[in-house]
Amino acid sequence: MIAIIGAGPSGAYAALKLAEAGEKVALFEEHSAVGKPVQCTGIVTKALFDLVEPSDEYLINELTSVRVNGPSSSIEIPLKEHVLCRDKFDPWLVQKAVDAGAELHLGHRFTGIQGNKAFFSNGNSYEFDKIIGADGPSSSVGRAVGLLKERKYYSGAQATIKSNFNPKSFSVYFGNIAPDFFAWVVPESSTHARVGIAAQKYGFNAYDKLLQLVPGEIVDKQAGPIPLFDPNQPAQKDNVFLVGDAAGLCKNTTGGGIITGMISGRLAAESILAGKSYESLLKPLRKELKIHQKLRDTLNKFSDADYEKLISWMSSPKVKEILYNYPREFPSRFMWKLFLAQPRLLYFLKYLI
């Protein structure tokens, strides 16, 4: 049996791929319902639809632009992205895995491994041949086998705020509001938006900051850690695999990990099914995430004046066209196109030295 700990997108997608291939799969979720609590902004690019078909069952909004805000200027960039509802998407994906033959066990919080047996807080234990840790940024599976020793995180805080919004455009804010990351406003509709902020260290009251950004009524609050990608973090030890946030396979630029997590879940399944090295299969994804890491390291060195330069230079129609056509998960596909379209962006390469 292949045991998968965590029924989020990365674990559910691994379960789906393995069950479709006829493997015996058990999917364990610590909560009593899949998809809750929600700790995600839920904005995804079209790259999601290379993995699963789009469905109104989980998509709640389509976005046609992003407003990038610097310290004193802003720019509108056209795009086509989507907002999904995690407490709809996660159950939808898990149900696909169950329909393919996977077993789902709710209310099972993983507590440890002894030999080839996984133990849970409710007293149950199960034998496994392989185990996949899809149990989030502080992965108990990773810690149990020594794969997760040291990790850096962003601290994220998000609120659902009731106010007035343009439902087709989301906003990001750079500069002093979140010096080593950014803040965001992602509309669910014309009346509700997910407003969030993250940083490596909070030196402020996050929810006060959010209300300064978007005055309104807070109807829900979420908070949690966002793992920083570390290229030296291993994702496999013997018959234990880590995927998604558990493996730290997130974009350091945005903190996003739904699509990269699902890709890693697919690769873990491929490794098990074909007997291939998981670490080798992860190399193309790690290549993309290393670029995200370098971009984040560069942005963290920006002054307010640098952000103003960036916003000004991004106003080029060619730059906007490139950003519209390429999903941001894969920067290797468009970074040099950006430099060719706007050579002044090479100015920022000095921060990589």
User: Is 310 exposed, middle or buried (CB count within 10 Å of its CB: 0-12, 13-18, 19+)?
Assistant: buried
* H-helix segments, the chain: 9-20, 86-99, 140-144, 206-213, 258-274, 278-299, 304-313, 317-325, 335-341
Question: Could you tell me what percent of the chain has a pLDDT over 90?
Answer: 83
Strands 240-242 and 192-199: unpaired
Domain that holds residue 77: 43-85+152-227
pLDDT at 69: 93
pLDDT at 210: 81
Q: Are residues 185 and 81 in the same domain?
A: yes
Looking at the 3D structure of the chain, how many domains does it have?
3
Identify the band that residue 175 occupies on the pLDDT scale cut at 50, 70 and 90: confident
Q: Are residues 168 and 223 in the same domain?
A: yes
- Over residues 331-348, the mean pLDDT reads 95
Q: What is the pLDDT of residues 88-110, one digit of tens each?
A: 999 999 999 999 999 999 999 99
User: Is 171 exposed, middle or buried (CB count within 10 Å of its CB: 0-12, 13-18, 19+)?
Assistant: buried
Question: Could you give the 3-state DSSP secondary structure of residue 117?
Answer: strand
Place of tokens 């409710």: 122
Identify the band that residue 205 occupies on the pLDDT scale cut at 50, 70 and 90: confident
Partner residues linked to 119 by β-bridges: 112, 125
* H-helix segments, 9-100: 9-20, 86-99
CA angle 206/212/214 to nearest 5° reads 100
pLDDT at 331: 96
* Short-list 249, 351, 266, CA closest to 307: 351
Q: What is the pLDDT of residues 255-305, one digit of tens each?
A: 999 999 999 999 999 999 999 999 999 999 999 999 999 999 999 899 999
State which amino acid sits at residue 47: A
Report the C-alpha dihedral over residues 225, 228, 232, 238, rounded to 10 degrees: 40
Q: Are residues 286 and 247 in the same domain?
A: yes
Is the model more confident about 56 or about 39? 56
Q: Are residues 111 and 197 in the same domain?
A: no
Question: Tell me, what CATH number does 268's domain have?
Answer: 3.50.50.60
- Over residues 165-179, the mean pLDDT reads 89
Q: Are residues 191 and 239 in the same domain?
A: no
Q: Are residues 286 and 189 in the same domain?
A: no
Q: Are residues 256 and 214 in the same domain?
A: no
pLDDT at 201: 65
Q: Are residues 114 and 244 in the same domain?
A: yes
Q: Which of 227, 256, 271 is the last residue of a domain?
A: 227
Identify the band that residue 204 occupies on the pLDDT scale cut at 50, 70 and 90: low
Q: What is the pLDDT of residues 106-116, one digit of tens each?
A: 999 999 999 99
Peptide bond into 317 cis (omega under 30): no
Residue 178 has pLDDT above 80, yes or no: no
pTM across the whole model: 0.95
Q: Which of 227, 256, 279 is the last residue of a domain?
A: 227
Q: Are residues 234 and 200 in the same domain?
A: no
Q: Are residues 135 and 93 in the same domain?
A: yes
Q: What is the pLDDT of residues 210-257, one digit of tens each?
A: 888 899 999 998 888 899 999 999 999 999 999 999 999 999 999 999
Is the model more confident about 260 or about 174? 260
pLDDT at 150: 83
Q: Are residues 158 and 216 in the same domain?
A: yes
CB neighbour burial string for 130-167, b if at least 16 within 10 angstroms, e if fewer: bbbbbbbbebbbbbbbebbeebebbbbbbbbbebebeb
Residue 134 has pLDDT above 70, yes or no: yes
Question: Tell me, what CATH number does 168's domain have?
Answer: 3.30.9.10
End-to-end C-alpha distance for the chain, whole angstroms:
48
Q: Are residues 16 and 52 in the same domain?
A: no
Q: Which of 207, 227, 247 is the last residue of a domain?
A: 227
